[in-house]
Amino acid sequence: MLDDFFTRAVLAGLGLALVAGPLGCFVVWRRMAYFGDSTAHAAILGVALALAFDVSIYAGTLAVAVAMACLVSALVARGQAMDTMLGVLSHSALAIGLVAISFVPSARSDLSAYLFGDILAVGRADLVLIWAGAALVLGLLILRWQRLVTSSLNEELAMAAGIDPRLERLMLSLCLAVVVALAIRVVGSLLISAMLIVPAAAARGWARTPERMAAGAALVAAGSVLAGLWSSLRLDTPAGPSIVTAAAVFFLISQGVRRA
């Protein structure tokens, strides 16, 4: 069954959706959209370094994404303005990554795959890494769920309950870095943030509890993967952008249902 490229693409997309939905809820609650952009755009630099030193794309992307996540967390902790600092780092990371990748001749022809993903080229080894990483992040979110939710919704209440908001913010940053590394082959660096934010935003309108919102976001993300891959196969459109387009359609539907 896994010899079928479309089956591998579906499994890879569902693995990403399983973790992107719940993690995206924290991105929405904490208003960390720019944070996701900064980490995702830095992934291009990780790709360039991985190709230059002949190491795994996932390893290079993860290393740079973790470094960016730690840098952003440190700057925010020192009192820097969140939106301005993240805006500067986001666009700077993308520009530096694109300049760096231009010095790697083997990567120039595949640049669009790293920017917009190439889920149809996912192999068996990619599937193992995607599902293992998704299971790791999802397990961490489940174990620390109450702490993460409390610190996300009210940091003062979290401190009163003996929870360190800085530690929880760092944990989320590291989880986000792992998901970025996993998603580089699925939707690309430019669309990773959309897969985190759009399903969570779609589920937010009708969910009454954080747990239901997380489950709803995962379902929307999974539905987006299936609908996007189906439309890509039928209409011969790029798979990564098709997945995000499907997520946007689900968001519009959720808004219409909510108003009705």
- Residue 107: predicted pLDDT: 62
Mean pLDDT of the chain: 84
Q: From 162, 170, 143, select the one nearest 30 (Cα to Cα).
A: 170
- For residue 116, is it within any domain? yes
pLDDT at residue 72 greater than cutoff 70? yes
- For residue 197, is it within any domain? no
Domain that includes residue 40, residue range: 5-189
User: DSSP 3-state helix, strand, coil percentages of the chain (rounded to 5)?
Assistant: 80, 0, 20
**Token output for 74:** 């440190």
- For residue 220, is it within any domain? no
pLDDT at residue 260 greater than cutoff 80? no
- Residue 218: predicted pLDDT: 95
- Model pLDDT for residues 15-34, shown as the tens digit of each residue: 999 999 999 999 888 877 77
- CATH number, residue 28: 1.10.3470.10
pLDDT at residue 75 greater than cutoff 80? no
% of the chain with per-residue pLDDT over 90: 32
- For residue 45, is it within any domain? yes
- For residue 227, is it within any domain? no
pLDDT at residue 78 greater than cutoff 80? no
Q: From 178, 168, 173, select the one nearest 131 (Cα to Cα).
A: 178
- Model pLDDT for residues 128-186, shown as the tens digit of each residue: 999 999 999 999 999 999 999 998 888 788 888 888 888 888 888 889 888 988 888 78
Domain count, the chain: 1
- Residue 221: predicted pLDDT: 95
User: Whole-prediction pTM value?
Assistant: 0.88
